[in-house]
A and B are shown apart, each in its own frame.
Chain A
Amino acid sequence: SQELEQSPQSLIVQEGKNLTINCTSSKTLYGLYWYKQKYGEGLIFLMMLQKGGEEKSHEKITAKLDEKKQQSSLHITASQPSHAGIYLCGALGGNAGNMLTFGGGTRLMVKP
């Protein structure tokens, strides 16, 4: 079965600083989703990557899928308190279907 490992598990940054979260898969990634979860709430879809080398941005958040398609990174530029939460990566399996395997999450705190 596919396993996703996220690093770091938790992160505290000063407001305005840049940061990167990594998601490494034990198998080839056929599709990689990034979600954000606010404490005590549901998951909010951020973006999806499918092609090796693909990069997408939404406001100050950029995600990239590496060429070998076994790792994705999420980069936040000039972090703000509103970026605080838990970031989760979810991967599509190689077989048919829409089932996702999730990483353990990265807990981000942004200090004003």
Chain B
Amino acid sequence: NAGVTQTPKFQVLKTGQSMTLQCAQDMNHNSMYWYRQDPGMGLRLIYYSASEGTTDKGEVPNGYNVSRLNKREFSLRLESAAPSQTSVYFCASSLWDSGYAMSNQPQHFGDGTRLSIL
């Protein structure tokens, strides 16, 4: 069981470069999420996709774009990387979809992408 797979695991970029973080899940989950984790700040939601074809902003969306390519894949793009975007990025997925008012479905996480921007 692969679960949630993130690529790459590590990346170093120069300021101004662009890159796309990839995420794929094999659990037939409906919703997918991108978080960033910074020391002392826990995880903060960047964007999420409640179902295939929809995306919405989270708490810290500035400087990022996302694409829900299909039900399995949800990518995060940094168009012009900045040092403030140095972080560990986590992708997650859940069985929940927008048809439920609230959820008791846990989110399952990938192992993260460690991104450094010089």
Interface residues of A (CB under 8 A from B): 1, 4, 30-31, 33, 35, 41-45, 48, 50, 88, 90, 92, 96-105
Contact = CB atoms under 8 A, between A and B. Distances in A.
Contact of A98 (B41, B43, B105, B110): B105
A43 B33 CA distance: 13
Q: Interface size bucket, B side?
A: 20 to 34
A31 B107 contact: no
B42 A48 contact: no
Contact of B43 (A50, A97, A102): A102
Contacts of A4: 42
21 contacts: A1-B59, A31-B102, A35-B109, A43-B90, A45-B107, A48-B106, A50-B104, A96-B98, A97-B50, A97-B98, A97-B102, A98-B48, A98-B50, A98-B100, A98-B103, A99-B48, A100-B43, A100-B45, A101-B59, A102-B42, A102-B43
A48 B109 CA distance: 15
Contacts of B43: 43, 88, 90, 100, 102
A85 to B, nearest CB: 13
Contact of B101 (A45, A96, A104): A96
A50 B11 CA distance: 38
Nearest to B96: A98
Given A31-B102, A43-B90, A104-B41, A98 B107 contact: yes
B101 A42 contact: no
Nearest to A104: B42
Interface string B77-118: 000000000000010101010101111111111111000000
